[in-house]
Structure 1
């Protein structure tokens, strides 16, 4: 199957006044087909975007979206430049139908479908601009739309954007949309997940899942935790049984967070002590001996001594692979985790925090607590969890009232 690999790249010949010039690129994502051959055209596109100043994290995500497209092309035994006269048979049109079907059956979120198609169109648009692909007919029809934007000061202005006939609108299905489009799991399922992870998965994955369920940290932050982060932890005298970890670009040492938010997360003392024990364990120290100097302070390292953090060159998709194996092992144990994703650990923690905070009866306080503990950049994200908890409670009450009314009617009805 096609995959993304990270390479260290430097220009071979770029001479100016007899001096080699050019920037050495570390961790440049590149696409490789299942037979080992590089997808040269797509790789040139990725390099051009890196040279244009695109952030490394954004480039990595775009490469993963194109990787999904490349895997589909291989599964369908198609060529990436298959564009016959009939529109319905063209590779991009077929991929678009595939994505729409995945959205309908619920295998892919609406936002994921939109982003995958958008990035693939961007790739092919660049290929046409650079004359690396040519067809006898246009691949799609472009149209210009006017978008109205309101500034923070209430000023309105319109800008023109170009879209294609193959673009997919982000139509969100009805229902709740928490972070990442996932829903929390029950306390019972959480216990089962952790038990399966402890029994079958590497101990690192068990600790990562525990951190997600009981601290609410995102996977990117968990994978980037440092030993110094644990060393600098602060115990809270007002909140017995918990410690505070400071993460973000303003922390010492720095730990990756989404949107660069710096703040403190709470960790149960039992989990914190288990992390401290793991840091000094022979299992981790063996991995530290294989790690590069920059990664030796990482709490979690792979068996090859590499960081699980996405920003590390050659990190691959290790956590995704471990999660796939966990679902398979859980199925053997009779537990269905087919639809379980790591980000649901964060959603589970957030809803439990929201439930506890709402017991105070002050909604504004609840929003503030969720925002602080989850390190949300915007209160609107925190408000989703508050509304989710409130609506779930109301639905449960309505369901109970309906059940009681139905049972009373059944009891009172005359027997035939």
Structure 2
């Protein structure tokens, strides 16, 4: 087990139960003789099956909650297993987050031995849930923990207690929280007004959402910062200097199609194997479930790949370099192989459909989700640009998607100004290319250009004025 502060990850775990030697699927287990074991012990286990007996409970990358002595916290781990068994296709990163939250709670309990997490005295402020609530608020106000983390941790602990109460494991003498129901109204992405009943407790932590106006970002699946055209050139210059073919192509895919990282990194060889007429300016590649390419929220969408980029990807796929990498990869050189692989033949991002398949031989303790790409940006691309152009430069991979959206927005707005298109047509065009479910998200790009032009104009004037003052001070002309 690879240990960290609060959790460990088991690469492979199969849930079993003790059985008789003659039972179906019985497997012999041996506890060998050792310093603390006087004699070897033999027993038999069999896999636990779902009620319909069609599947067992086999997991890769199972998170285990630990106490401060690195001993598994039994009840928390039973809770996680219970939730896993109730989920047909669990996303282990979600459960790793739950485990980390409960590990944080266990850390709090271990630091305060006077707290019994099952004891709920009459004094509300002495109950473990309220004490933890106060502890989290202190962390929040001290700036030690992000608001989103505090809210999530409290929510995970409430869900943990709900489960214990529902299962009859815990019967608190007093309420762990006060609960109320209210009707929440919201709009769907299609614009329809909906409402649903929501349960809330007095443990819910209300934390202000950071929203800095005109900070140069767009809220599109996270705060994204579109790179200026000059910055885009800097990044490409850095990639050219660094000479990593795969990372250069991956950047180009994101910058020229708006693909998110999971989409760019799960492109397959088959997606760039077809030949198209020379007249085809753009190549459409359908993404989503059933098409072999991961997308956010399993949405089905179409990448519009510029012909020059498609030809470049096709040439790379046929190269000796790419073939060598596919030769090292599990499954070898086949049409369903990832287009982009590391030098060792491993994917930069493991597709969701593969993560759902149990691998009894797995040895790694983390999911491949683009970490190598992000690390390359941090360690190589950004330092190059900072050293050669702008010491304050920074970007994240997802900013390339915003840059594509902004480039396309600028192009469409230019057509509107020339009278060749209508603003409504421009909005629909960008919305379609970006796969925005709501036109409100697309409007953020249109508004961004208008706002940033205003902000940049003001900043440029102010910066010029400050520069003039500094220069004047240096030459002794400040008092003129």
Match of 2:90 among 46, 50, 56: 56
**Cα distance, 1:379 vs structure 2:** 2.2
| Partner residue in 2 for 1:244 | 284
Matched, 1:365 2:399: no
Q: Secondary structure, in 3 states, of the residue corresponding to 1:352?
A: helix
**Cα distance, 1:310 vs structure 2:** 5.1
Kindly indicate whether the alpha-carbon contact (under 8 Å) linking 2:154 and 2:203 is maintained by their aligned counterparts in 1.
Answer: no
Where do 1:196-275 residues align within 5 Å? Answer: 196-200=238-242, 203-232=245-274, 237=279, 239=281, 242-249=282-289, 253-275=291-313
Match of 1:192 among 234, 254, 260: 234
Match of 1:328 among 379, 385, 402: 379
Q: Secondary structure, in 3 states, of the residue corresponding to 1:13?
A: strand
Match of 2:219 among 178, 181, 189: 178
Kindly indicate whether the alpha-carbon contact (under 8 Å) linking 2:238 and 2:381 is maintained by their aligned counterparts in 1.
Answer: yes
Match of 2:184 among 124, 148, 160: 148
| Partner residue in 2 for 1:410 | none
Provide the C-alpha distance between the structure 2 equivalents of 1:28 and 1:150, rounded to a whole number of angstroms: 37
Kindly indicate whether the alpha-carbon contact (under 8 Å) linking 1:147 and 1:160 is maintained by their aligned counterparts in 2.
Answer: yes
Q: 1:134 to 1:300 in 2, by over 3 A?
A: farther
**Per-residue deviation, residues 103-130 of structure 1 (Å, max 9, x unmatched):** 99xxx6x667644653465346546766
| Partner residue in 2 for 1:31 | 63
Matched, 1:388 2:448: yes
| Partner residue in 2 for 1:309 | 350
Kindly indicate whether the alpha-carbon contact (under 8 Å) linking 1:184 and 1:344 is maintained by their aligned counterparts in 2.
Answer: yes
Kindly indicate whether the alpha-carbon contact (under 8 Å) linking 1:184 and 1:351 is maintained by their aligned counterparts in 2.
Answer: yes
| Partner residue in 2 for 1:280 | 318
Q: 1:94 to 1:177 in 2, by over 3 A?
A: farther
Normalising by structure 2, we get a TM-score of 0.65
Where do 1:22-101 residues align within 5 Å? Answer: 22=50, 23-25=55-57, 28-31=60-63, 42-53=76-87, 55-57=89-91, 59-64=92-97, 66-67=99-100, 78=107, 81-83=110-112, 84=114, 93-95=134-136, 97-98=138-139
**Cα distance, 1:278 vs structure 2:** 2.7
| Partner residue in 1 for 2:44 | none
Q: Secondary structure, in 3 states, of the residue corresponding to 1:255?
A: coil
Provide the C-alpha distance between the structure 1 equivalents of 2:435 and 2:307, rounded to a whole number of angstroms: 20
Kindly indicate whether the alpha-carbon contact (under 8 Å) linking 1:31 and 1:39 is maintained by their aligned counterparts in 2.
Answer: no
Q: Secondary structure, in 3 states, of the residue corresponding to 1:56?
A: coil
Kindly indicate whether the alpha-carbon contact (under 8 Å) linking 2:150 and 2:205 is maintained by their aligned counterparts in 1.
Answer: no
Provide the C-alpha distance between the structure 2 equivalents of 1:369 and 1:236, rounded to a whole number of angstroms: 24
Q: 1:381 to 1:331 in 2, by over 3 A?
A: closer
Structure 1: any 5+ residue segments left out of the alignment?
407-414
Provide the C-alpha distance between the structure 2 equivalents of 1:7 and 1:172, rounded to a whole number of angstroms: 37
Normalising by structure 1, we get a TM-score of 0.73
Match of 1:341 among 392, 396, 403: 396
Give the aligned length.
Answer: 395
Q: Secondary structure, in 3 states, of the residue corresponding to 1:149?
A: strand
Q: 1:323 to 1:201 in 2, by over 3 A?
A: farther
Provide the C-alpha distance between the structure 2 equivalents of 1:226 and 1:309, rounded to a whole number of angstroms: 12
Provide the C-alpha distance between the structure 1 equivalents of 2:452 and 2:209, rounded to a whole number of angstroms: 23
Q: Secondary structure, in 3 states, of the residue corresponding to 2:17?
A: coil
What is the Cα-based RMSD across aligned positions, in Å?
A: 4.7
Judging by fraction of residues, say which structure has more helix.
1
Structure 2: any 5+ residue segments left out of the alignment?
25-46, 116-125, 356-363, 417-421, 467-478
Match of 2:155 among 108, 118, 122: 118
Kindly indicate whether the alpha-carbon contact (under 8 Å) linking 2:181 and 2:199 is maintained by their aligned counterparts in 1.
Answer: yes
Q: Secondary structure, in 3 states, of the residue corresponding to 1:265?
A: strand
Provide the C-alpha distance between the structure 1 equivalents of 2:8 and 2:233, rounded to a whole number of angstroms: 34
